[in-house]
Amino acid sequence: MAENKPNPNRPIRRKPDLNLSSGMGKLPPQAIDLEEAVLGALMLEKDALTTVVDILKPESFYKESHKVIYSAILDLFSDSQPIDLLTVTNQLRKKGLLEMAGGAFFITELTSKVSSAANIEYHARIITEQSMKREMISIASEIQKDAYEDTTDVFELLDKMEQSLFEISEKNIRKNYSDMRSIMKEAIMELESRKGQKDGLTGVPSGFTALDRVTSGWQKSDLVIIAARPAMGKTAFVLSVLRNAAVDHDRPVAIFSLEMSSVQLVNRLISSEAELDSEKIKRGNLADYEWEQLVHKTAKLSKAPLFVDDTPALSILELRAKCRKLKAQHDIQMVVVDYLQLMSGDAKSGGGGNREQEIASISRALKKIAKELSIPVIALSQLSRAVETRGGDKRPQLSDLRESGAIEQDADMVMFLYRPEYYGITEDEQGNSTMGVGEVIIAKHRNGSLENVKLRFIGKYTKFTDLDMNVPYKAQDVMYGSKFPSGSGTPGFDSGNTIRMQSKANGGDFDDPFPGSIGSGEPAPF
């Protein structure tokens, strides 16, 4: 008889590894014994379900039969029926699911495995944790499969993964109710923390006194829509808002500019901060003293926590990913999108080419970002041409929002920018001059009043300031032909609408680049 010798070319057959905790033999996370204990306890004590109904869902259970039984218990609860061994069995029988649930004997056994519902909440939370682990494993498997596909868009895949994990958290980690004692304690602590704040702001400051008085700052989780016709100063307004938050209050903020490049935006900020004519900055035609002024005045701006992203045709998926990254790395307190109609939605939610549906999906997504990151999101929007064809003062209305009524529904606040002088209206209803005046019309305010706030618009510096800002204008205002109406209440102006300032040589505050002209009683050399 030939001796059996091992064949080196034959693959070695190993005995199956029965250790399920190693290698590929793992079982999905589960807690079968606790599932049985919870179901048994629910049928023993009538009030037990109220303890776990907001923790457990049918899909939280691992075994299919347990899902069926728990669904029957929820049906009885919703119909205000008693929950016990007999009623649950009868409910399953009526639905034809008794055999799928394991039969009447199995349900009877469940009640014999527990003596009370004392620890049911603790057990329910363990079941939920195991369910969350299974969901994460499922997501990871799907992501792994998609990642191997050459046709997969990596940014869409990344967003899908982040969104899926966030949904798990939203579904399973619910905030519980609080009693009045704990809420009052929290409210008093918050009031005490605000005691030292004289401005009463609870959100990110806009930097405009009258506006902050109405809004108390830009509030967390709010979607704010700022809409206007072209050339009304939308970008100038939000840049002033961002600058005030970042420079004056050291709040990290971000702007996603789909219309202008980052350099163009920064040039506007430089013009506003240094109070140098934007046209001169565009041409680079600055005198030596103006260069010194620029460097000196923009020192704080260069250190401000202000982040600019000028990615063109930004999609909502990219925006969400970028905002999450900025929040994680820099703890941004506010996001501005300039502007909404230039964004593109998801391929899946584009509405088959229907732009109105796409805009609606974008506005909903912006609101979700605000809520998810707990920050205000400000989105600029265009208005329809109906404003131009309408008679009267041409103040915008909510119906003028372009392309989708969903914008109005999703927004917590809708503001319109309106400058009467753009339409040749030089006086308001009270006979006051409207030259250099911009109105912020709060047309929707979910948590406050509706008011019109007037601001000063300085076009050549592309900036907005408080209307009654009681500060002297600088030398460059004089030299480059700033004109304001007489009787405007702005210091430093004479009745002939020509600015007259005092140089150091004449007892004023600034160096006179043209000795003998400025502050000498003669008009500045424009």
Query: For 244-273, what is each residue's pLDDT tens digit?
Result: 888 888 889 998 888 888 888 888 888 888
CA dist., res. 420 & res. 422, Å (int): 5
CA pair distance 500, 477, nearest whole angstrom: 10
Greater model confidence, 5 or 158: 158
* Helix or strand holding residue 257 (H, E): strand 253-257
Average the pLDDT over 45-69 and give the result: 86
412 vs 500, more confident: 412
Phi-psi region of 443 (alpha: psi -120 to 50; beta: other; left: phi over 0): alpha
Question: How confident is residue 176, by pLDDT bands cut at 50, 70 and 90?
Answer: low
Cis peptide leading into 177, omega within 30 of 0? no
Beta strands in 446-504 (DSSP E): 452-458, 463-466
Cβ–Cβ < 8 Å for 500, 513: no
Which range, 199-208, 271-280, 371-380, 393-402, has the best average confidence (pLDDT)? 371-380
pLDDT at 377: 92
Q: Quick one: average pLDDT of 128-154?
A: 88
Query: Looking at domain 32-172, does it have CATH number 1.10.3720.10?
Result: no
Which H or E element spans position 378? strand 377-382
CA angle 334, 337, 341 (to 5 degrees): 155
> 117, 128, 126: which is closest to 40 by C-alpha?
117
Name, of 44-48, 126-130, 315-319, 499-503, the range with top average pLDDT: 126-130
Please give the torsion angle defined by the CA atoms of residues 224, 230, 236 and 241, in that order, rounded to the nearest 10 degrees. Answer: -10
Residue 316, token pair as written in the block: 């909502």
Written as one letter, the residue type at 355 is: R
Residue 68's pLDDT is what?
92
Q: How far apart are CA 317 and CA 163, in angstroms?
A: 10
Of the candidate ranges 41-45, 198-202, 413-417, the one whose mean pLDDT is the lowest: 198-202
Residue tagged 């209440």 (tokens) = 489
Task: Give dist(CA 53, CA 38) in Å, integer.
Answer: 12
CATH superfamily of 209-469: P-loop containing nucleotide triphosphate hydrolases (3.40.50.300)
Domain boundary assignment for the chain: 32-172, 209-469, 474-526
Give CA–CA dist 130/122, Å, rounded: 13
Spell out the alpha helix ranges (H) of 308-354: 316-330
Contact 258, 342 (CB under 8 A): yes
Q: Which of 220-224, 315-319, 324-328 has the lowest mean pLDDT?
A: 315-319
Q: Please give the mean pLDDT across all residues of the chain.
A: 75
Q: Check pLDDT > 90 for residue 66.
A: yes
What is the average pLDDT across 188-197? 68
Q: Is the pLDDT of residue 355 over 80?
A: no
Neighbours of 251 (CB within 10 A): 22
- Report pLDDT digits (tens) over 406-450: 777 788 888 888 888 877 777 777 777 778 888 888 888 888 788
Name the band, by pLDDT with cuts 50, 70 and 90, for residue 335.
very high
3-state SS class at 103 = helix
Mean pLDDT, to the nearest integer, of 368-379? 89
CA distances from 149 to 146, 152, 154, 156 (A): 5, 6, 10, 13
Residues 6+ apart with CB under 8 A from 440: 208, 211, 237, 415, 416, 417, 452, 453, 454, 455
Task: Write the CA distances from 386 to 235, 404, 462, 467, integer angstroms.
Answer: 21, 14, 26, 29
Question: What tens digit of pLDDT does each residue of 93-124 get?
Answer: 998 999 898 888 998 888 887 777 788 888 98
CA quadruple 36, 38, 40, 42: dihedral sign: negative
What mean pLDDT is predicted for residues 85-98?
Answer: 90
Helices (H) and strands (E) in the chain, counts: 19, 9
| pLDDT number for residue 18 | 41
Which residue type is seen at 524?
A
- The amino acid sitting at 83 is I
Query: If we measure between CA atoms, which residue out of 55, 66, 74, 83 comes closest to residue 31?
Result: 66
Q: Give the highest mean pLDDT range of 186-190, 372-376, 491-495.
A: 372-376
Which contacts (CB < 8 Å, 24+ apart) does range 452-460 have? 453/208, 453/210, 453/211, 453/214, 454/210, 455/208, 455/210, 455/211, 456/490, 457/233, 457/236, 457/419, 458/482, 459/233, 460/271, 460/277, 460/278, 460/279
Per-range mean pLDDT, top range of 337-341, 373-377, 479-483: 373-377
Q: Show the CA angle centred on residue 416, arms to residues 414 and 421, nearest 5°.
A: 175
Instruction: Answer yes or no: is pLDDT of 340 > 90.
Output: no
Average pLDDT over residues 170-183: 65
98-101 contacts at long range (C-beta below 8 A, 24 or more positions apart): 100/64, 100/65, 100/68, 101/65, 101/68, 101/69, 101/72
How many of the other CB atoms lie within 10 Å of CB of 108?
Answer: 14
